[in-house]
Chains A and B, each alone.
Chain A
Amino acid sequence: MKTDSMHKPAGKSFRERNRQAGGYLLVSRAKRITVSVLRALLLFGLCFMIIQPLLMRFGTSLMPEKDLYDSTVVLLPRTPTLDNYRIVLTLTNFPTSMFNTLWTSLLVSVFQVASCTLVAYGFARYDFPLKKFWFGCVVALIVIPPQTIATALYMNFQRFDIFGIFEAILGKPLNLHGSLSPYLLMSMTCMGLKNGLYIYMLRQFFRGIPRSLEEAAYVDGCGTLHTFVRIMLPGAMPTIMSCFLFSFVWQWTDLFYTRNFLATSARPIFSTELSTIVSRMSRYFSSDASKPIIVPAGRQQQLISIGVLICCIPLIILYVFTQRTFVKSIMLSGTKE
C-alpha cells in the first residue's frame, strides 16, 4: 500500500517517471484504482442491501392505505400520513410496553454483564481444580440451545424449590410464574441469553492484560477484590460496555425468554406485543369487537413493518451514539488464542 508521493523525486512528471520504471508505475497505479473501484462497488452493494429494507419500510410506513394498492406509488407516499404510527402505537400498548421493555432490559443486562465479568475474570486469572471442565461448560452454554430446556425450565419454576427448603417452610414449593424473579436469578448466574459468549469475550480480554499490573497492585497491598475493582475493571470498561450493548440489544428484541419468563398481561413487553400484533389488528379494525374482520395482507404487513421500525429506532439511535466506542473496543479485544 505505498503511495506514489513517497518516492516522488522532485520535478519529474508521472509520465517521465513511468518511462524510467519501464511501465511499472502505470501498471501498479491501474491495479490500485481497479481494486478500490471494485471494493467500493462491492461495499456499496452490500451496504445498500442492508439499508434498503429499512428505507423501504420507512417509506411504506408513511403511506395511507390507498397508496398501498396504487401501483404507481413505489417508494414515497403520495400523501404522507402519520396515522399508521398512531394505530400501531395503540395496538402495542405503546408507552407501557416500551417502558417495561426498557427497564427489564436494563435490569437484566446489568445483572448479566456483572456476573459474566466476575466469572470471566475468574477464568482468565486463577488456577483451580477442574478449570478446563468448567470452561468446557461455558462452551457448552454457547452451544446448547435454550429451546432444548425450555419446557423443563418452565416446569421447574412452576414448582420452584432449592433442596426442599421452601417446601419445609411454606408447606408448598414456590410458584415463580408471573414474576421477574426466575429470569433475574438466571441472569445473576450467567444463564441468560447468549451469556456464554460474553464470558468468552471478556475472558479473552482479561487474558490480554499483563499480569504485572495486578502483581504491582498486590505488592502495594491491594486485596483481591480491590484489585479487581480498581485496577482491572477500569481497563476492561470498553469491552464490558460492548457486552452490555449486545446484551441490552438482544434482550430488547428477544422473544424466547421474554415469552417464557418476562411477559405477563400486567406487564406487556414490546417484543411479545409485536409478535401477536396480527391477531389484535383485526379486532381493532372491526367496529364490533365480537366479529373480527380480516385485515388485507398488504395492510397487515405495513403495520408489522411499522412495529419493527418502532422497535428498532431506539436501538439504532443508541447504536449511532455508541458505535465509535463499540467498534474500538472490539478492535481492542484483539483475540489471542
Chain B
Amino acid sequence: MTNAPLNAPRRGQWTFTESICMFIPGTSFYKTMRARNARRGVLFILPFITGFLVFMLRPLLQSLVMSMSSINISQTDWPFVGLENYKYALSVDPYFNQYLVEEIPRMAINAVATLVISFVIAVILNQEFKGRTLARAIFFLPVILASGVLPGIESQNEFYNMMQGLAQEVANASGVDLSAALEDLLTVSGIGGGLFDILFTMIDSVYDIVMASGIQIIVFLSGLQAISPSLYEAADVEGCTAWESFWKITFPMVSPLLLVNCIYTIIDFFMKNDNRVMERINEVMYSQFRFGESSAMSWIYFGIALLFIAVSAFIISKGVHYYED
C-alpha cells in the first residue's frame, strides 16, 4: 500500500478495552475517528457475522453433536453415544472404508494434475497469438459445463457406465486405444514403473482434469496479468532466456495464488457429486435415514480434506514468495 492509510499508526492492533468501548456511547474512545471507522466496518460485515453464526456455526456444532448421538427422526431427544457412529462408519459400513481408500489417492493425483495443467494453460493463454479470445472463451466454458447437476447426472446412470465399459473394450480390441498401446510399449521396453502408472492415470482422466480447472485457470491468469512487463524486459536485457525468466519471474510471482488454487482444487474434488464417498454419505442419509452415522461419515471425510489442505498449505507456504509493492 503506497497510499497513507486513514489511520496510519497502530493499524490492525486492538486492545480488549478498545474493542468493547467502541460500542459504548459515552466512553472517551467512542467518539474518536478510529472507533467510528471500526463501527462502520463492523456494520459493513454485519450480514456476514450474523450469517456465519446462525447458518454456519450453529448447524456445524449441531452436526458435530449429531455425529455423536443416535438419531431417530420420530423422537425429539437424541441419546448421546460418543464415538459409536464413527466406529460404525469405519468398521461396520461395508462400503465407506473401501471407497475412502480408493477415492483419496485418485483425488490427490487429480488435484496435483489440475494445478499443473491449469497453470500451463494459463501461461499459454497469457501469450499473444491469433484467436486468443476464442481460446479463452472455450477454456472458461467448463465453469458452466462442469457445475452443479450437470457432470454428475451422466455418471449416475449405471447402464450408461456399462455401455461405456463395453465401448472401451471394443476400442481396445480394435487397437485404437493409443494410451493403452503406448503404455504396453513402455512397459515392454522396461521403462514403465510406478511413476508411469501415475502419469497414465492422469492422462486417462485428462478430460475430468480440464473440466475441473476452469476457475483455477481464471485465478492463475489474473495473477499472470498482474506481473509488470518491465520485469521481463529487464530480464531479457540482462540475458535471461525465456526458460530462466519463467522460473525466476513468472513462477515466484504467481506462487501466492498456488495456495488459493490448491485449497480450491482439493475442496472441489472432495465435494464433487460423482465422487463415490459423497454418494455413499448421501445414500446413508437419504435412503437409510441413518442421520447420526452419515454425519459421522461426513465429519471423517471433512477431517481428511482438512488434513490434505493443511499438509499442502504447509508444503506450498515453504516455497511461496510474497511480493510487496
Q: Do A and B bind each other?
A: yes
Residues in chain A within 8 A of chain B (CB atoms): 1, 36, 39-40, 42-43, 46-47, 49-51, 54, 115, 118-119, 121-123, 125-132, 134, 137-138, 140-145, 147-153, 155-156, 162, 185-186, 188-191, 197, 199-200, 210-212, 215, 224, 246, 249-250, 252-256, 271, 274-275, 278, 297-298, 300-301, 304-305, 307-308, 311-312, 315-316, 319-320, 323-324, 326-327, 330-331, 333-337
Interface string of B242-255 (1 = CB under 8 A from A): 00000000000000
Does any Cβ of A come within 8 Å of B307's Cβ? no
A189 to B282 CA separation, bound complex (whole angstroms): 26
Give 21 CB contacts A-B under 8 Å. A36-B129, A39-B124, A47-B138, A50-B211, A126-B40, A128-B39, A129-B19, A137-B52, A149-B60, A149-B62, A190-B48, A197-B264, A210-B3, A274-B149, A274-B153, A307-B153, A315-B144, A316-B144, A319-B141, A323-B137, A324-B133
Does any Cβ of A come within 8 Å of B219's Cβ? yes
A123 near B45 with CB under 8 A, answer: yes
A115 to B278 CA separation, bound complex (whole angstroms): 30
B222: shortest Cβ distance to chain A, in Å?
5
> Counting chain A CB atoms within 10 Å of each CB, which of B18, B56, B154, B206 scores highest?
B56
A184: shortest Cβ distance to chain B, in Å?
12
Partner of B150, one of A137, A148, A308: A308
Q: Known contacts A191-B52, A253-B149: does B222 contact A127 (CB below 8 Å)?
A: no
B108: shortest Cβ distance to chain A, in Å?
17
A129 to B21 CA separation, bound complex (whole angstroms): 11
B207: shortest Cβ distance to chain A, in Å?
6
A175 to B254 CA separation, bound complex (whole angstroms): 49
Query: For residue A117, which residue of chain B has the nearest CB?
Result: B44
B299 near A191 with CB under 8 A, answer: no
Does any Cβ of A come within 8 Å of B26's Cβ? no
Residues of A within 8 A of B256 (CB): 337
A191 near B55 with CB under 8 A, answer: yes
B309 near A275 with CB under 8 A, answer: no
* Given A126-B42, A137-B52, 8 new contacts (CB under 8 A): A115-B48, A119-B48, A145-B298, A191-B51, A316-B141, A320-B137, A330-B221, A335-B219
Query: For residue B294, which residue of chain A has the nearest CB?
Result: A151
Interface string of B195-229 (1 = CB under 8 A from A): 00000000000110011000000110111011000
Q: Known contacts A43-B135, A189-B48, A191-B51: does B225 contact A255 (CB below 8 Å)?
A: no
Query: For residue A323, which residue of chain B has the nearest CB?
Result: B137
A311 near B150 with CB under 8 A, answer: yes
A46 near B299 with CB under 8 A, answer: no
A143 near B267 with CB under 8 A, answer: yes
B95: shortest Cβ distance to chain A, in Å?
17
Interface size class of B (residues with CB under 8 A): 35 or more
The total number of A-B Cβ pairs within 8 Å is 270
Query: For residue B15, which residue of chain A has the nearest CB?
Result: A129
A42 near B3 with CB under 8 A, answer: no
Partner of B278, one of A143, A147, A152, A315: A147
Interface string of B32-63 (1 = CB under 8 A from A): 00100111111111011111101110111011
A300 near B157 with CB under 8 A, answer: yes
9 A-B pairs with the lowest CB-CB distances in the bound complex, closest first: A189-B51, A126-B41, A122-B44, A253-B148, A297-B159, A129-B19, A334-B226, A152-B59, A149-B59
B22 near A129 with CB under 8 A, answer: yes
B41 near A127 with CB under 8 A, answer: yes
A211 near B278 with CB under 8 A, answer: no
Residues of B within 8 A of A323 (CB): 136-137, 140
Residues of A within 8 A of B295 (CB): 148, 151
A29: shortest Cβ distance to chain B, in Å?
15
A134 near B124 with CB under 8 A, answer: no
A330 to B215 CA separation, bound complex (whole angstroms): 11
Does any Cβ of A come within 8 Å of B6's Cβ? yes
A36 to B124 CA separation, bound complex (whole angstroms): 10
A271 to B14 CA separation, bound complex (whole angstroms): 47
Q: Known contacts A148-B298, A211-B5: does B139 contact A47 (CB below 8 Å)?
A: yes
Query: For residue A270, which residue of chain B has the nearest CB?
Result: B149
Residues of B within 8 A of A250 (CB): 147-148
A76: shortest Cβ distance to chain B, in Å?
19
Residues of B within 8 A of A200 (CB): 260
Residues of A within 8 A of B3 (CB): 210-212
Q: Known contacts A46-B121, A129-B22, A252-B148: does B159 contact A300 (CB below 8 Å)?
A: yes
B128: shortest Cβ distance to chain A, in Å?
7
B290: shortest Cβ distance to chain A, in Å?
11
B41 near A125 with CB under 8 A, answer: yes
A131 to B140 CA separation, bound complex (whole angstroms): 33
B41 near A131 with CB under 8 A, answer: yes
Residues of A within 8 A of B141 (CB): 50-51, 316, 319
A199 near B48 with CB under 8 A, answer: yes
A1 to B225 CA separation, bound complex (whole angstroms): 17
A304 near B153 with CB under 8 A, answer: yes
